Amino acid sequence: MLMLAEVVAYGALNREESRGSHTRTDYPNRDDKRFLNHTTVVIKDGQLQVSYTPVTLGIFELKERMY
C-alpha cells in the first residue's frame, strides 16, 4: 500500500494543474493543453517514471465542472 501511495503522490505532484478533486494552490487552474491525459507511473531501475497518454473524448463536450 505504501508503494501505491507513493505512485499516486508522484503522479499528482507532476500534474501542475487543478482538476476535479485534485486541487493545488500553486496551480489553481485547469490546463487541458498539457494535462488532458491519463497519467501512468512505472518503476524502472528503482526510479518512478511518469508518462501521459491522451484522453479519447467521446460524445460529451469537454467543460469544467462548477460546484
pLDDT in tens, 40-55: 999 999 999 999 999 9
Q: What is the DSSP letter of 2?
A: H
Q: CB-hemisphere CA count at 13 Å for 15?
A: 28
| Beta carbons within 10 angstroms of residue 15's beta carbon | 19
pLDDT in tens, 1-39: 999 999 999 988 999 999 888 889 999 999 988 889 999
Q: Is the pTM of this model over 0.85?
A: no
